Chains A and B, each alone.
Chain A
Amino acid sequence: GEDVEQSLFLSVREGDSSVINCTYTDSSSTYLYWYKQEPGAGLQLLTYIFSNMDMKQDQRLTVLLNKKDKHLSLRIADTQTGDSAIYFCAEREGTGRRALTFGSGTRLQVQP
């Protein structure tokens, strides 16, 4: 079955870059997603990348995908205190099932 893993916690200083890492096991994954969850709130889709891409950039966010190693990362440039949240990596398998398999989430703490 699918398995998605993330480190649990990351602390950075305001203005620094944050890099959140994710590994997955399903080689048939077609799309990989990053979601953000602020305290007491739902999940906000940040960005996604198709499995035939290596990189995607969207303003302060850069997603890197190493398909060979099944490794996905999310880089947040110039991290702000408002970026403090839990970040979830998720994959959608390629068999047509539309449900997402989520990682355990990485709690990002931004210190002023």
Chain B
Amino acid sequence: DTAVSQTPKYLVTQMGNDKSIKCEQNLGHDTMYWYKQDSKKFLKIMFSYNNKELIINETVPNRFSPKSPDKAHLNLHINSLELGDSAVYFCASSKGGRASEQYFGPGTRLTVT
């Protein structure tokens, strides 16, 4: 029944490692997003895909690479992790249309040591 799911929920890793976070939505939406929430709870858009096509790519280091194998999945791969990458990463999805309510996943708390 979960609408937007993310794995893993928690991720603890060392600097320099490469890691991936996965996101899946079963709502039939055509647009998916990655947001980053920092320690002060500030949320900022990172990427957005519409029908597997990248439509938003904010000023994010190129160590971050999103991949959308199909409309229901959007994964985030991070190379050479740094301390400053520690945050909660939220996946979201929305259906095309005027309101475009976005539904969020539970978040992945990434801690880089």
Q: Is A20 an interface residue (CB 8 A)?
A: no
Residues of A within 8 A of B106 (CB): 41-42
CA of A37 to CA of B92, assembled, Å: 14
Q: Is B60 an interface residue (CB 8 A)?
A: no
Does B99 contact A48, Cβ atoms closer than 8 Å? Answer: yes
Q: Give the A-B pair count, Cβ closer than 8 A.
A: 60
- Interface residues on chain A, number (Cβ under 8 Å): 23
Q: Is the interface of A mostly helix, strand, loop or mixed?
A: strand
- Interface residues on chain B, number (Cβ under 8 Å): 26
Residues of A within 8 A of B104 (CB): 35, 42-45
A contacts, CB < 8 Å to B: 30-31, 33, 35, 37, 41-45, 48, 50, 86, 88, 92, 97-102, 104-105
Q: List 21 A-B contacts (CB under 8 A).
A: A31-B98, A31-B100, A33-B102, A37-B41, A42-B90, A42-B107, A43-B43, A50-B98, A97-B56, A98-B31, A98-B33, A98-B50, A98-B56, A98-B100, A98-B102, A99-B45, A99-B48, A102-B43, A102-B44, A104-B41, A104-B42
